[in-house]
Amino acid sequence: MQQNLILTDAGLYCSAGDFFIDPVRPVERALITHGHADHARAGHGSVLASSETLKIMAVRYGAGFAGTTQAIAPGERLSVAGVGVSFHPAGHVLGSCQIRLDFGGFVAVVSGDYKRQPDPTCAPFELVPCDLFVTEATFGLPVFRHPPATGEIGKLTASLGLFGDKTHLVGAYALGKAQRLIAHLRESGYNRPVYLHGALEPLCALYEAEGVAFGPLEPVGGRGKELAGEIVLCPPGQLTDRWARRFGDPVTALASGWMRVRARARQRGAELPLIISDHADWDDLCRTVVETGAEDIWVTHGAEDALVHWCRSRGLNARPLNLAGYEDGGDGETVGIV
């Protein structure tokens, strides 16, 4: 039944249901796993996604981002031209889902991006048994092992204790990472206001409207040196931008799975690398592949070869799926641009 899923220039296409999953160019019918810009693009005829993903897309692209939209609840079953379709939490960002396709008993699951680490800002990953698992492998190398986020947050608060006269400027992606950082900071007991670069405000407001509590948030606005001793979140690119100079000599931090690689931290201007990722690390990729029970594994989005090799060494049918177009959309960790 795998011929029902075909790789095209526009992305993964389900011929039986005549729809695409996370297409990278405008199509008639799109099913979208989550709101990161490389997965969720504007201009489709119709979009089926979680209600949160639809709201995220409306914040980013405006209300008319697709001809028509339909929200699907987690676990709800629909039939799209005879293909059974359901969405299941992926634990990646607010509203992120894996998509389960039932072709009359043969079940395929397209993971989108996912993680297994705790994240107070979204529903946890749900394990969905399947025959074919299409998995991301953004961090598909054994070197990538993400430590618990609590320890990384502890590095940030410890630095604040040591350098209380300096602004702590933390680069974090606008969708998912910024919100998760704030939530983990609150869990750690940090209750001062967190200051936000303007680019992070709309999605933080959406998360709050969806019921995620952040405590006091303040726009940076025109402030600079008066934010000594405070935590300021900004998009990663702002760390090395003129904008950052207003804080004098800040401590710069960056939250990303790529911070495991020291050279990348330096390159991105991060003195304090925080290894906090919204993607599964190597161990969780391997564990998830096994736990789904799938015999066929398609690997996409990053370091495919190592995971394909690992799967084959375990007797699974694995192949790399060289999907083009899934790039750092300004807020993902999809490729090593970070």
Whichever of 36 and 44 has its CB closer to Zn ion, that residue is: 36
- Which residue is it, tokens 């981002």? 65
Query: Binding to Zn ion by residue 331, rule CB under 5 A?
Result: no
Q: Is residue 119 a contact residue for Zn ion (CB under 5 A)? A: no
How near is the Cβ of 37 to Zn ion at its closest, in Å? 9
Binding of residue 179 to Zn ion (CB under 5 A) = no
| Least separation in angstroms between CB 21 and Zn ion | 12
CB of 243 to Zn ion, least distance (A): 25
Cβ of residue 325: shortest distance to Zn ion, in angstroms? 10
Least CB distance to Zn ion at residue 222 (A): 32
| Residue 41 contacts residue 23 (beta carbons within 8 Å) | yes
Q: Using alpha carbons only, give the angle 57, 176, 182 rounded to the nearest 5 degrees.
A: 135
Using alpha carbons, list the distances in angstroms from residue 219 to 94, 140, 167, 331: 22, 36, 14, 19
139/247 with CB nearer Zn ion: 139
Is residue 113 a contact point for Zn ion (CB under 5 A)? yes
Of the candidate spans 8-16, 20-28, 258-266, 326-334, the one that interacts with Zn ion by CB under 5 A turns out to be 326-334
For the residues of 268-316, what is the DSSP string, one character each?
A: TT-SEEE---SS--HHHHHHHHHHHT-SEEEEEEE-HHHHHHHHHHTT-
Phi and psi angles of residue 110, each rounded to the nearest 5 degrees, phi first: -105, 115
Which C-beta is closer to Zn ion: that of 252 or that of 300?
A: 300
In the complex with Zn ion, the residue whose CB is nearer, 160 or 203, is: 203
Looking only at residues 53 through 112 of this chain, which bind Zn ion when binding is defined by CB under 5 A? none
| 177 contacts Zn ion (rule: CB under 5 A) | no
- Does 334 participate in binding Zn ion (rule CB under 5 A)? yes
Count of residues near Zn ion by CB under 5 A: 4
- Nearest to Zn ion of 32, 169 (CB atom): 32
Find the shortest distance in angstroms from Cβ 134 to Zn ion. 12
* 36 counts as binding Zn ion under rule CB under 5 A: yes
In sequence order, which residues have a C-beta less than 8 Å from that of residue 261 and are 6 or more positions away?
Answer: none
Looking at the chain, how many residues does it have? 338
> Which one of the spans 143-151, 216-224, 315-323, 324-332 is the region binding Zn ion (CB under 5 A)?
324-332
Q: Which CB, 257 or 332, lies closer to Zn ion?
A: 332
| Residue carrying the six token digits 């054994």 | 142
| Nearest CB to Zn ion, comparing residues 98 and 334 | 334
Contacting residues for 285 by C-beta, under 8 A, at least 6 apart: 135, 137, 139, 140, 307
23 touching Zn ion, by CB under 5 A: no
Residues 22-27: contacts with CB under 8 Å, at least 24 apart: 22/110, 22/112, 22/326, 24/323, 24/324, 24/325, 24/326, 25/325
Decide: is 22 part of the binding site for Zn ion (CB under 5 A). Answer: no
Rounded to a whole number of angstroms, the minimum distance from the CB of residue 314 to Zn ion is 25
Say whether residue 35 binds Zn ion (CB under 5 A). Answer: no
Per CB under 5 A, the segment of 34-42, 123-131, 235-243, 312-320 that binds Zn ion is: 34-42
Minimal distance in Å, beta carbon 92 to Zn ion?
6
Q: Is 277 in the site for Zn ion (CB under 5 A)?
A: no
E-strand stretches of the chain: 5-8, 11-14, 19-21, 29-31, 44-49, 66-71, 78-80, 83-89, 97-103, 106-110, 132-137, 168-171, 194-196, 217-219, 231-234, 251-255, 272-274, 296-302, 317-320
3-state helix vs strand vs coil in the chain, percent to 5: 30, 25, 45
- C-beta of 255: minimal distance to Zn ion in Å? 15
Applying CB under 5 A, the residues found at the interface with Zn ion are 36, 113, 332, 334
